[in-house]
Structure 1
Amino acid sequence: MAEVVPFKGLYYNLDRVGEIGKVATPPYDVITPEMRQGFLQRHPYNIVRLILPASPEEAGETFGRWLDEGIFLQDELPSLYPYEQIFHHPGDGRRLERWGFVALVRLEDGAVIGHERTSEKVVEERLKLLEATGAQMGQVLGLFSDPEGEAGALLREATQKSPRFEFTDDEGVVHRLWQVSEPRLVEALTLRLRGQRLLIADGHHRYATAWRFRQLQRRRHPDAPEDAPFEFVAMYLTPLEAEGLVILPAHRLFKLPSDEVASEIWGRIEEYCRIRTVSDPADLLQALSRGQGIGLASKRGFFLLLPRDGGPLRGPLQEIDAALVDEVLVGGLGLEPVFTRDPEEALKGVEEAKFDMAFLLRPPRMQDVKRAVETGLLMPKKSTYFYPKVATGLVIYPVSRL
Structure 2
Amino acid sequence: MARITPFKAIRPTADKVSLVTSRSYDDYGAAELAAYLEFNPFSFLHVLNPAYVNQQKLGWEKRFKMVEHKYQDFKKEGILVQEDKAVFYIYEIHSKNHTFTGILAGTSIADYQANVIKKHEDTLQYRVDLFKDYLHQTGFNTEPVLMTYQDNPEINEWVTRKKLEVPLYEFSTTNKEKHTLWKIDAETEINWLQEQFREIGNLYIADGHHRSASAELLYEQDKGSGNETLNHFMSFLIADSNVKIYEFNRIIRDLNGNSKEEFIKKIAENFVIKSKKQELWKPKHKFEFGMYFDGEFYALRLKEEKFTFGNTLEQLDAQILYNTVLNPILGLGDLRTDERIEYIPGTRSITSIKDMVDNGEFEVGFMLYPINISEIKAIADLDLIMPPKSTYIEPKFRSGLVVYEL
TM category (shorter chain) comes to 0.7 to 0.9
Does the residue aligned with 2:362 lie in a helix, a strand or coil?
coil
User: Aligned partners of 2:400, 2:255: CA distance in 1, in Å?
Assistant: 39
Aligned match of 1:97: 99
Amino acid at match of 2:342: P
Aligned match of 2:73: 65
Q: Pick from 147, 150, 159 the counterpart of residue 163 of structure 2.
A: 159
User: Aligned partners of 1:6, 1:369: CA distance in 2, in Å?
Assistant: 27
Deviations 1:335-381 (A, max 9, x none): 34233221232233223334322211111122211221222211123
User: Aligned partners of 1:276, 1:119: CA distance in 2, in Å?
Assistant: 38
Preserved contact between residue 25 and residue 48 of structure 1 (Cα < 8 Å): yes
Structure 2: any 5+ residue segments left out of the alignment? 51-55, 57-62
Q: What is the CA RMSD across the aligned residues, in angstroms? A: 2.8
Amino acid at match of 1:372: I
Amino acid at match of 2:24: P
Aligned match of 2:53: none
User: Aligned partners of 2:76, 2:216: CA distance in 1, in Å?
Assistant: 28
Structure 1: any 5+ residue segments left out of the alignment? 90-95
Tell me whether 1:330 sits opposite 2:326 in the alignment.
Answer: yes
Aligned match of 1:204: 209
Amino acid at match of 2:399: T
Tell me whether 1:174 sits opposite 2:178 in the alignment.
Answer: yes
Tell me by how many angstroms 1:200 deviates. 0.7
Alignment of 1:186-335 (within 5 A): 186-195=190-199, 196-218=201-223, 221=225, 224=226, 228-240=228-240, 242=241, 244-256=242-254, 259=257, 269-282=267-280, 284-285=281-282, 288-289=283-284, 293-299=288-294, 301-309=296-304, 310-311=306-307, 314-326=310-322, 328-331=324-327, 332-333=332-333, 334=338, 335=340
Identity %: 22
Tell me by how many angstroms 1:303 deviates. 1.4
Aligned match of 2:7: 7
User: Aligned partners of 1:45, 1:262: CA distance in 2, in Å?
Assistant: 53
User: Aligned partners of 1:112, 1:56: CA distance in 2, in Å?
Assistant: 29
* Pair 1:263–1:279, CA change in 2 (3 A): closer
Preserved contact between residue 212 and residue 233 of structure 2 (Cα < 8 Å): yes
Amino acid at match of 1:103: A
User: Aligned partners of 2:198, 2:164: CA distance in 1, in Å?
Assistant: 25
Does the residue aligned with 1:337 lie in a helix, a strand or coil?
strand
Amino acid at match of 2:102: G
Amino acid at match of 1:81: Y
Preserved contact between residue 290 and residue 299 of structure 2 (Cα < 8 Å): yes
Amino acid at match of 1:61: H
Aligned match of 2:387: 380
Tell me by how many angstroms 1:291 deviates. 6.0
Q: Pick from 91, 102, 114 the counterpart of residue 119 of structure 2.
A: 114
Preserved contact between residue 103 and residue 237 of structure 1 (Cα < 8 Å): yes
Preserved contact between residue 249 and residue 367 of structure 2 (Cα < 8 Å): yes
* Pair 1:68–1:266, CA change in 2 (3 A): farther
Alignment of 1:9-28 (within 5 A): 9-15=9-15, 18=16, 20-28=17-25
Q: TM-score normalized by structure 1? A: 0.84
Does the residue aligned with 2:290 lie in a helix, a strand or coil?
strand
Does the residue aligned with 1:179 lie in a helix, a strand or coil?
strand
Tell me whether 1:345 sits opposite 2:352 in the alignment.
Answer: yes
Aligned match of 2:60: none
